[in-house]
Structure 1
């Protein structure tokens, strides 16, 4: 009887350590329950994305390039003075950032020729139009290109390697951001992902559920500059990580105790 109880106890612990698919698969909507009934090559449903374009913040680093089709020497000299920071970026991402233009604490960029231009609070496209409008006063056919150089976020917790990721794309979904960071481990709790988001001089804290398909329509579907994504572990983590590794020792210990109890009767 004792052996049967021991075997049942071990089986119960092993089954309790299993992680079902419903806790792993992203963006579910009863798909796992009716997998065989899902039609192939057919659009099942669509979602409207609440796209929130990134807005430039103080201390962002921008790549700003000026171009023109004009071949006049005066125009070329004017462009060379504007593009003083657009040199070689052969040093990788750090070299590219050193060649960028820093937005000051007042949200402005400063040119010796164009003066100060307010860009904080603008999208990259709005900043492009604003800078181009100022530059066109000196060169009518000028074209301006603006990109972010230091868009970054941090992923911590139950992931395949905690890290800070720097990206050139400012429209990253949460899944894309996690994928670039190496992805989540099997023991990650995808239903309670914590996000810390900077907003001016304050930090907002919220949770997202990556298991539900409705998350696609969430205003928090896209990551923002300096987001910190913290992924907690599932309850099965301590058992899977610690108990299972020591299962042989525990089983031997229990068997030894049972043997002693049996012999002492």
Structure 2
């Protein structure tokens, strides 16, 4: 009987040691991963002042299914109210946003928006600045010294993967960088793979896939540094995350095994 008990104790201690070493290995792997890859832009020289070339910003172009907030102001407060009220009351489901709804004028398949009083105006392919000038030119036929504002309502980007707050974010400005989007998502987690961040972009011919290395200052020169409507950013998990998940699984197995061994010892003594 004592021989059996001693064997069970040896098995129990062996499993506990295995579980301990697995947790230790996962911890060391995570620590090494953190030291090597957490800092951004490591190849920037350590001097007091650095100037890095940056990609030129290209203004967003209006395209089909975009939702635009268009307002017209005139000296007569009530003169353009029909246009502005129509924008406020026109509730549209944003493409790909689930139950989220936005107010504004949608660009139809012909690339046009239909405004009260002004009629149909083709805006596809224009920037918001060019669209504003075109609408103001048309509004001059009906109003005195009109001031026009045009902005994107549905400019959103989605950040998923190893970030602290994965979600879709509606941008308040057209000039948005990949770093802005990652910042809104609460930065990468400690397990985020900073050397392999994937950008997915919809185009007329399909999807573009672009990889970024946040450890490399060449990011600033990329033509994809500035984001466009409906861009998706995916942060891949590192090997440390996989190792931690595996160690957790083995730790649970070791605990269960130890509980079963303890139960077996109690039963043999009875």
Give yes or no for TM over 0.5. Answer: yes
Q: Could you give the per-residue CA deviations for residues 128-152 of structure 1, whole angstroms, max 9, x where no partner exists?
A: 1111111112235111011111111
Q: Is residue 66 from structure 1 mapped to residue 72 from structure 2 by the alignment?
A: yes
Q: Map 1:30-179 onto structure 2 (within 5 A).
A: 30=44, 38-39=46-47, 42-69=48-75, 71=76, 78-87=79-88, 97-98=102-103, 100-179=104-183
Q: Could you give the per-residue CA deviations for residues 189-214 of structure 1, whole angstroms, max 9, x where no partner exists?
A: 12111121112352222212222111
TM-score by length of 1: 0.76
Q: How many residues align?
A: 236
Which secondary structure state, in structure 2, belongs to the residue aligned with residue 53 of structure 1? coil
**RMSD over aligned Cα, in angstroms?**
3.3
**2: CA distance, partners of 1:30 / 1:12:** 32
Q: Report the counterpart of residue 16 of structure 1 in structure 2.
A: 29
Q: Could you give the per-residue CA deviations for residues 217-263 of structure 1, whole angstroms, max 9, x where no partner exists?
A: 11111111111111111112111233057448659979xxxxxxxxx
Q: Report the counterpart of residue 261 of structure 1 in structure 2.
A: none
Q: Is residue 213 from structure 1 mapped to residue 223 from structure 2 by the alignment?
A: no
Which secondary structure state, in structure 2, belongs to the residue aligned with residue 210 of structure 1? coil
TM-score by length of 2: 0.74
Which secondary structure state, in structure 2, belongs to the residue aligned with residue 146 of structure 1? strand
Q: Is residue 26 from structure 1 mapped to residue 30 from structure 2 by the alignment?
A: no
Q: 1:124 to 1:15 in 2, by over 3 A?
A: same
Contact residue 187 and residue 233 of structure 1 kept, 8 A: yes
Q: Is residue 182 from structure 1 mapped to residue 186 from structure 2 by the alignment?
A: yes
Contact residue 198 and residue 227 of structure 1 kept, 8 A: yes
Q: 1:55 to 1:232 in 2, by over 3 A?
A: same
Q: Which has the higher contact order (CA 8 A, sep 6+)?
A: 2
Gaps of 5+ in 2: 1-13, 259-270
Q: Report the counterpart of residue 262 of structure 2 in structure 1.
A: none
Gaps of 5+ in 1: 32-37, 255-265
